[in-house]
Structure formats: C-alpha cells, structure tokens
Structure 1
Amino acid sequence: MKKNGGIRFLRWLILFAKRFLKDDMPASSAQLTYYLTLALFPFLVFLINLLSYTKLSTWSLTEDLLTVLPAGTMQIITSVIRETIEAKSTTLLSFSALFALFSTSRAMNALNRALNKAYRVQGTRPIWKNAMLSFLFTMGLIVLIVATLSLMVFGQLIGEHLFTLLGASVYFLHIWNLMRYFLPVAIMVLIFSLFYRFMPNTEVRFSNVWRGAVFSTIGWIVASLLFSYYVNRFGSYTRVYGSLGGIIVFLVWLYLSSFILLVGGEINAVLLYGDSKIK
C-alpha cells in the first residue's frame, strides 16, 4: 500500500510539474508581483496616514508585523512609514487610497487570469463582475492585514477585556494568547480559499480549494521566515547591489509570495481535474 501510495504521489508530482510549466506560472508570478508592488506602498501610505489621525502608535502597530520580513525590506518600509508620518496630509490620504485600490484591483485581475489558465477556462465574465470581484477581494486583503495587525498588537488587551467581561478562569488568557496567533493564520486560509473559490471563471466548491489554501498559507509563512533568516544571516545583497539591496530583497520576497499563491491554485486545479485538462 505504501509503495502504491508513493507511486501515485510521484505521478501526481509529475503531472503537477507538467501543468505548472505549461501554464508558465513563473511569468504569471512576475506579473502579479509587479501589480502588488504598485499597490503595496500606496496602501501602506494610506494606512499609516489614517492611523496618524488616531491616538494609536503607528510604530507599535507595524513593528510586530515587520519582524517576519527580511532586514532590507524592513528598512524600506520603515523609511516609508517615517516619511508618511512627517507628511501627514488629507490629500495624500485620498490619493494613496485611490491608487492603492486601483493597483490592487489590477493585481486581482492578474490573479484571475492565472487561475483561469490553471483551470483551462476563458475569462468570459462581464467587466462589471470582474471589477466587483476585484474590489471585494481587495477589501478582503485589507481585512486580513488589519485583523493581523489588531490581533498581534492589541491581542493581549482584547484578551484581558474579554477575561474581565466574561468572568472567565485564568486559563482563558493562556488559551487566548495562543489563539491570537492562530486566528490570523485561520483568516489567511479563509481569504485564500475565497480567492481560489471565486476567482476562476468556473464552478469550484470549497471542498476543492481548501488544500491549496492551506498550502499557500503555510508555504508563505515558512518561506517568509526562511527567506528572512537567510537574508539576515547569510545574504550579501547590500555588498552586491549597494543601496538597491533592500529593494532587490523586497522584490524577491514579493515574488516568492506570488509564486506560492499561484502554486496553491495550480494544486487545486490538478487535484480537481487530474490529467483530463492537461492540454
């Protein structure tokens, strides 16, 4: 049985590799990276500008999230945060929001085309429907980021408030402290599942997409941590590229993220159709 299972898995890997290369997913990952790059910094400017009008500490909200990123990437983003705080402006807030929404919508369109290619379907949806889906998934990404920030930064305070409100036992706080790191992961799985469920122009059930969503979530977390460790310990981007080293690191990390997201979609397509749509 184990031998047969190993042979089936090997055949599946070969089929997956054929489809992945035929669909030219590395090129699609590069396209998705381009639009995400255009979207990320306007969105970051918008978020920091918005927070600057509150009593919340901008640095406290971002420092925990930045720890998963490579050092060069952290330097770029912290530089953007610093300049945004100094240039607090309602005009900047409005323009950054509009540009971030437009660029993220383009990224969602690129993801839609890549997943359609994986499922061997044509993009025949009306323009208005594509625009609506892009907008909804853009909002989903914003919810993911905000929820992650909130749980990582305010998780302890939220847990203590619930502890007092519910009159729970002291074990509640211990469980909550574990849950506040698990919940962002669960939200990521949910958002990725929604991507894979509704983005392709074909009928797909949630039961057909959860494995790709779990792979993408775990893959992104592990790849980000390993890449960050490599760059911080062994990387020589600064010596090779000079002042551009941080930008190169950021683009490589974003490409890895896009790559993993598309691999998850291809996994779902192969598991659903097998070799029936290899051509």
Structure 2
Amino acid sequence: MPPPQDASRSGRRPGWPWQLGGSAWRYLLRRTGHEFLRSRGVDQAAALTFFAVLSVFPAALAVVSVIGVVGDGPATASRVLDLVEQVAPGQVAETLRGPVTQLASTPSAPAAFIGGVVVALWSASTYVSAFGRAMNVVYQVEEGRPFWRRKLAQLAVTVLLVLLVTVVAAIVAVSGPVLRWVGEIAGVEEGTVQVWQVVRWPVLAAAVIGIVAVLYATTGNVTKPRVRWLGLGAVLAIAVIGVSSAGFGIYVSLFAGYDDTFGALAGVIVFIIWLFLIDLALVLGAHLNAEIERARELLSGEHAERRLQLPVRDDTTSARTARTERLDHERGELLREGEPLPPRPDTLPRRIRRRVETVWGWLRGHRSPRPPPT
C-alpha cells in the first residue's frame, strides 16, 4: 500500500483511511474540535433539535404506516420502543410509547392513509432540510439549488430514510418465536436461528451507521466523497450517541430529579435533551468527515487550508443571492450619502414581469410563420 507521501506527490487523494498517516490524523482530529467550536456546533445542534421535535412524530407515523402495510404495526412498534428503553433514558420510551402505540393501532381508509403518509413525509422533511443547512455550514458552501429542486431532493432523502428505518425496525421486531417459525417454513436449522439472534445486533449497528452515512451523503449543497469516508463520521456519531445516552441515563436516574421538578413534563424535557445530544453527535461526526476530506486534499497538494475543494451540487441561485447582496450594499451607500433610493430592479413583481416577457418572446420566436397569400 503506498504511503501518504506517494499519494501527495502523485496528486491523487488517498483512497483509504490508513493512507492518511499519523500526522494527518493528528491534524484533522485537532481541527475537527476547532471547527466544531468555530462554526458554533452547539447552536447548530440546538436548531436541529427544534426541527427534530417537529419531525419525530410525523416520521414515526410514516414508519408505522409502512410497517402496518407489510406486518403487525402495534407489535413491531412495541418491540422498537423496548429497544429505545434499553438505549435511551427511561422517560424517553415512556414519552413516546403512548403516541406511537396510538398511531400504530389507529386504522384508516386508503385515501386517508395515503394522505397521512404524504403529509407526514412533508413534515418530516423539515429535519432533512435543517440538516442540509447545517452541512452547508460545515462544508463552507452556499445553498445554490432552487427551492423546488432542493425540496424534491429532501423529500427523496426522507423517503429513503423512512424505508431504512423501517428495515431497522423489522430487524428489531424479529423475535425468537418468529425466527423459529420462519426457520421451520424455510427448513433452516435451529442453530442457524440462534446464530441470527446474536448476529442481528451487529447487523443492527451497521444498519444504523449506514442510515447516518446516508444522511451525511445526501444532504447539503456539496458533492461528498465516497460513503466509506463518510462512515467514519457516522461511527463517531453513533459512538458519541451511545456514550452520552448512557451517561445521561445514569444522571437522570441518580442525580437529576426531573420528576420532582417538572412532574408530568419530566419525560418531555428528558426527551428533548436526549435529541439534543443526538444532534450534537451528528454535527460532530459531520465535522470529522469534513476534516478528513480536508486532509485528503492537502495530502494531494490542493490548497484546502481555508476552504474545501469539493464541487457544489448546484449554483443556480448563487448569482441571484450575490446580486441581491450587491444591491443592498449599493442602496446602503446611497442612504448614507443622503441620496434618494431608486426602485429596486429585483422585486417580485419585476422578476415575474421579466420572466413573462422572456417566455412571450420565446413563444413569438418559435411561432410558425403564416403561409403567403395565394
């Protein structure tokens, strides 16, 4: 395997993590912490937590609806909540159990089902949108995609994440009796079923890491490197989530006294804090991914000390944003000098009028000529 110096001299970015070398790893780990603080990672996590609170129940509705089509929704939801109770502080599972169980047990007509899933996906996409804005900050790029293109991409990512979470829920829901029943039908030996009981937990961990890597890869207005690099940030995020959840659970159980202070609201408070810890870990993992990419670019000889050299997905609206900023500065100078402010050329009515004139001119140019008179 060629050392990092060879990759640098050849101008190629290292293709695997072990090609980075000790110096690069020390540099990128230290800079990950610096950039996390410099870009106000705590504030980004707080903003993501707000959108997570808005999105969690619509997302749960979408997942439970999909599970209800292919299996036993209430039973699967109960097993997933049992897993959440093992991972998260106890009040979190109790806070979610009532609403999620009600969603899973409520029947609906086909039209209402489809409409509910569509509305739920649209609502859940607000978190994907917020996460994309956070990724733009992490990778130091501006959002240049038009709204319709950006929203379609966010909805597609939301649908993909819902399907992946549904697969994870199915892995959790496959209990011992179900496995033995499936094994009898498929002719699988009992030993194989017992092995799956053990193996499914590493499979579950890998699936969760994959979900986080997909979230990293598909959000933001920047073309990311391959998923094998993004998986490193996902592993860090999952590890931090596990450690922080365990520590927070011990703190809540032994020292906090949320039940005495907040009463019936204790579960909600604990749930929001737990979501904040999750988003904090996700932002930290994204910064690690960005700094790994910076180290790869530096080792290949690219000037990435200040800004990453990754291409953006789209810059359609970047020129409009720059023009608006320039107009604001020019009008500010006129105001400072006491000059009258002329009408803005970029108001919505003027833009609509220009767009209509452009379309009309295009139609007139492509109109077939009239035949000559006979």
> When the two structures are superposed, what TM-score results if normalisation uses the length of structure 1?
0.83
Q: Is the 8 A contact 2:62 2:121 kept in 1?
A: no
Equivalent residue number for residue 228 of structure 1: 249
Task: Give, in whole Å, the separation in 1 of the partners of 2:158 and 2:61.
Answer: 16
| Residues 1:205 and 1:97: Cα distance change in structure 2 (over 3 Å) | same
Q: Which residue of 59, 72, 84 corresponds with 1:66?
A: 84
Q: Is the 8 A contact 1:148 1:184 kept in 2?
A: yes
Q: Secondary structure at the match of 1:203?
A: coil
**Larger mean Cα displacement after TM superposition, 95-104 or 249-258:** 95-104
The alpha-carbon deviation at position 179 of structure 1 amounts to 2.1
Equivalent residue number for residue 243 of structure 1: 264
Equivalent residue number for residue 160 of structure 1: 180
Q: Secondary structure at the match of 2:83?
A: helix
Q: Is the 8 A contact 2:28 2:288 kept in 1?
A: no
Q: Secondary structure at the match of 1:121?
A: coil
Q: Which residue of 141, 145, 167 corresponds with 1:121?
A: 141
Q: Is the 8 A contact 1:144 1:184 kept in 2?
A: no
Matched, 1:133 2:153: yes
Equivalent residue number for residue 173 of structure 1: 193
Matched, 1:31 2:52: no
| Residues 1:169 and 1:55: Cα distance change in structure 2 (over 3 Å) | closer
Task: Give, in whole Å, the separation in 1 of the partners of 2:257 and 2:131.
Answer: 32
Equivalent residue number for residue 33 of structure 2: 17
**For residue 113 of structure 1, what is the amino acid of its counterpart?**
R
Q: Is the 8 A contact 1:43 1:96 kept in 2?
A: no
Alignment of 1:204-219 (within 5 A): 204-206=224-226, 207-219=228-240
Matched, 1:185 2:205: yes
The alpha-carbon deviation at position 10 of structure 1 amounts to 5.6
Q: Which residue of 262, 271, 276 corresponds with 2:283?
A: 262
Equivalent residue number for residue 271 of structure 1: 292
Which protein is bigger by CA-based radius of gyration? 2
| Residues 1:230 and 1:6: Cα distance change in structure 2 (over 3 Å) | farther
Alignment of 1:93-132 (within 5 A): 93=113, 96-132=116-152
**Larger mean Cα displacement after TM superposition, 54-63 or 73-82:** 54-63
**For residue 173 of structure 1, what is the amino acid of its counterpart?**
V
The alpha-carbon deviation at position 266 of structure 1 amounts to 0.5
| Residues 1:271 and 1:25: Cα distance change in structure 2 (over 3 Å) | same
**Larger mean Cα displacement after TM superposition, 227-236 or 265-274:** 227-236
> When the two structures are superposed, what TM-score results if normalisation uses the length of structure 2?
0.64
**How many residue pairs were aligned?**
275
**Larger mean Cα displacement after TM superposition, 194-203 or 181-190:** 194-203
Task: Give, in whole Å, the separation in 1 of the partners of 2:176 and 2:220.
Answer: 39
The alpha-carbon deviation at position 246 of structure 1 amounts to 1.1
**For residue 262 of structure 2, what is the amino acid of its counterpart?**
Y
| Residues 1:251 and 1:159: Cα distance change in structure 2 (over 3 Å) | same
Q: Secondary structure at the match of 1:209?
A: helix
The alpha-carbon deviation at position 113 of structure 1 amounts to 1.1
Alpha-carbon deviations, 1:140-186, whole Å to 9, x = none? Answer: 32123222221112253564356445544443223211222222211
Task: Give, in whole Å, the separation in 2 of the partners of 1:180 and 1:167.
Answer: 19
Q: What is the RMSD computed on CA atoms of the aligned residues?
A: 3.2
Equivalent residue number for residue 346 of structure 2: none
User: Which residues of structure 1 form unaligned runs of 5+?
Assistant: none
Task: Give, in whole Å, the separation in 1 of the partners of 2:241 and 2:229.
Answer: 20
Task: Give, in whole Å, the separation in 2 of the partners of 1:48 and 1:198.
Answer: 24
| Residues 1:226 and 1:100: Cα distance change in structure 2 (over 3 Å) | farther
Q: Is the 8 A contact 1:35 1:103 kept in 2?
A: no
Task: Give, in whole Å, the separation in 2 of the partners of 1:45 and 1:197.
Answer: 25
Task: Give, in whole Å, the separation in 2 of the partners of 1:7 and 1:52.
Answer: 51
Alpha-carbon deviations, 1:59-84, whole Å to 9, x = none? Answer: 55324233223222222212224554
Alignment of 1:69-84 (within 5 A): 69-81=88-100, 83-84=102-103
Q: Is the 8 A contact 2:64 2:77 kept in 1?
A: no
| Residues 1:146 and 1:229: Cα distance change in structure 2 (over 3 Å) | farther
Task: Give, in whole Å, the separation in 1 of the partners of 2:68 and 2:288.
Answer: 41
The alpha-carbon deviation at position 216 of structure 1 amounts to 1.7
Equivalent residue number for residue 151 of structure 1: 171
Task: Give, in whole Å, the separation in 2 of the partners of 1:265 and 1:85.
Answer: 33
Task: Give, in whole Å, the separation in 2 of the partners of 1:193 and 1:49.
Answer: 24
Task: Give, in whole Å, the separation in 2 of the partners of 1:100 and 1:57.
Answer: 17
The alpha-carbon deviation at position 13 of structure 1 amounts to 4.0
| Residues 1:45 and 1:11: Cα distance change in structure 2 (over 3 Å) | closer
